[in-house]
C-alpha cells in the first residue's frame, strides 16, 4: 500500500510510520526540517528492509508547499491508499492574552496544511474509488479547557474538516477517520516535567490507527478517542 504521512520525522507521525513500515508498505513522508526527516527515513529503511521509505521536506503551513508535496507523490506515479494528516503544532495559551498571530500560525499548519494536501490528492483517489484518510485531531477538538486557546480552536476546525470529508467521500469508497488522542509522550511534552508513565505512548495511537486501516472495504471507523488510563491531565 502507498502510505503518506505528514509530520513523520518524530513523535506520533514517526510511530505511525514505523507501524506501516513494519507491514512492508511503501511510505512517503514529510516534515519541515530536512535533516531530521532524512534521519528518520534512513532509520526506518534500515529497520524495515521490506518496506520502501522516501520523503521530502516541505513547510506544510504554506499552502503551495502542501500542494507541492501532494504533487511530488502523484508525479512519481503513486496514488495514496492511506493519507495521514498528522503534522501539527501546539502552543498553550488563552484567547484573551495569547500573542497576535498565534491563531493564524496554528491554523496554517493544523488545518490548512491538511486541507490543501488532501485536496491535491483527492481527485486521483476518487478516480480509484478507494483510500483512507486519517486526520490527527485531539481531545482538544472535542473539549475546551483553560489554556487551550488558539490550539483548541484549530483542532475543533480540523475535526470539522474531517466530518465534512467523511460525508463527501462515502460514495467514493474513501474512508475518513478522525483520531482524537489525549496526551501521548512526544517532543511536544519534552521539558514539561510530565512523567512519561502518566500519559500514553506514541505507539498506542499508531496501533489504533493501523488497526482501523485493516478493516474490510465495507467498514469505516469514523472516530477514535484515546485517553491516558488515568484520564486527561
Ligand atoms: N502528543 C500529544 O500529546 C498529542 C495529543 C493530541 C494530538 N496531537 C497531535 O498529533 C500530531 C503530532 O503531534 P506530536 O506530539 O507527535 O508533535 P511533535 O513531536 O512536535 O512532531 C510534529 C511533527 O510535525 C512536523 N511539523 C510541524 N510543523 C510543520 C510544518 N509547518 N510543516 C511540516 N511539518 C511540520 C514536525 O516536523 P518539523 O519539526 O521538521 O517541522 C514533526 O515531524 C499533531 O497534530 C498534534 O496536535 C498530539
CA 56–ligand 1 middle distance (angstroms) = 16
**Percent over 90 (pLDDT), the chain:** 97
CB distance 85 to ligand 1 below 6 Å:
no
User: In which band, very low, low, confident or very high, does the pLDDT at 192 lie, cut at 50, 70 and 90?
Assistant: confident
pLDDT above 70: percentage of residues in the chain: 100
Residue 124: name the closest of 156, 83, 92, 159 by CA: 83
Looking at residues 8-13, what average pLDDT do you find?
Answer: 98
d(CA 53, ligand 1 centre) in Å: 19
Domain chopping of the chain, boundaries: 2-226
β-sheet bridge partners, residue 85? 135
Residue entry with cell 531530521: 36
Task: Assign domain 2-226 to its CATH architecture.
Answer: 3-Layer(aba) Sandwich (3.40)
**pLDDT of 188 above 90:** no
- Give backbone dihedrals phi and psi of 21, rounded to 5 degrees, phi first: -65, -35
- CB contact at 8 A, 25 and 1: yes
Q: How wide is the angle at C-alpha 138 spanned by C-alphas 134 and 139, nearest 5°?
A: 135
Asked if the model's pLDDT at residue 191 lies above 90, the reply is no
CB-facing half-sphere around the CA of 180: CA atoms within 13 A? 21
For a ligand 1 pocket test, name from 15, 18, 90 the mutation site with the most ligand atoms within 8 angstroms of its C-beta. 90
pLDDT digits (tens, 9 = 90+) for 34-85: 999 999 999 999 999 999 999 999 999 999 999 999 999 999 999 999 999 9
Residue-averaged pLDDT of the chain: 97
Distance CA 63, CA 108 (A): 8
Amino acid at each position: 500500500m502507498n502510505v503518506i504521512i505528514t509530520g513523520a520525522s518524530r513523535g506520533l507521525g514517526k510511530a505511525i510510520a514505523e507501524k506501516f513500515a513494519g507491514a512492508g508498505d511503501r511510505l512517503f513522508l514529510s516534515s519541515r526540517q530536512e535533516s531530521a526527516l532524512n534521519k528518520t527515513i534512513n532509520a526506518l529503511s534500515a529497520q524495515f528492509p521490506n518496506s520502501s521509505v522516501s520523503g521530502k521536506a516541505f513547510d506544510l503551513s504554506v499552502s503551495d508547499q502542501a500542494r507541492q508535496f501532494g504533487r511530488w507523490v502523484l508525479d512519481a506515479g503513486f496514488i495514496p491508499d492511506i493519507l495521514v494528516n498528522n503534522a501539527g503544532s501546539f502552543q498553550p495559551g488563552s484567547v484573551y492574552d495569547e500573542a497576535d498571530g498565534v491563531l493564524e500560525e496554528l491554523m496554517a499548519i493544523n488545518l490548512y496544511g491538511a486541507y490543501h494536501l488532501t485536496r491535491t490528492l483527492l481527485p486521483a483517489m476518487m478516480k480509484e474509488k478507494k483510500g483512507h484518510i486519517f486526520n490527527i485531531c485531539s481531545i482538544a477538538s472535542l473539549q475546551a479547557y483553560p489554556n487551550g486557546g488558539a490550539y483548541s480552536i484549530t483542532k475543533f476546525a480540523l475535526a470539522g474538516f474531517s466530518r465534512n470529508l467523511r460525508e463527501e467521500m462515502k460514495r467514493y469508497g474513501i474512508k475518513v477517520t478522525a483520531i482524537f488522542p489525549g496526551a501521548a509522550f512526544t517532543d511536544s511534552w519534552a521539558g514539561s516535567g510530565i512523567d512519561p508513565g502518566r500519559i500514553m505512548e506514541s505507539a498506542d495511537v499508531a496501533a489504533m490507527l493501523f488497526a482501523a486501516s485493516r478493516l474490510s472495504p465495507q467498514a469505516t471507523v469514523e472516530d477514535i478517542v484515546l485517553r491516558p488510563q488515568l484520564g486527561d491531565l
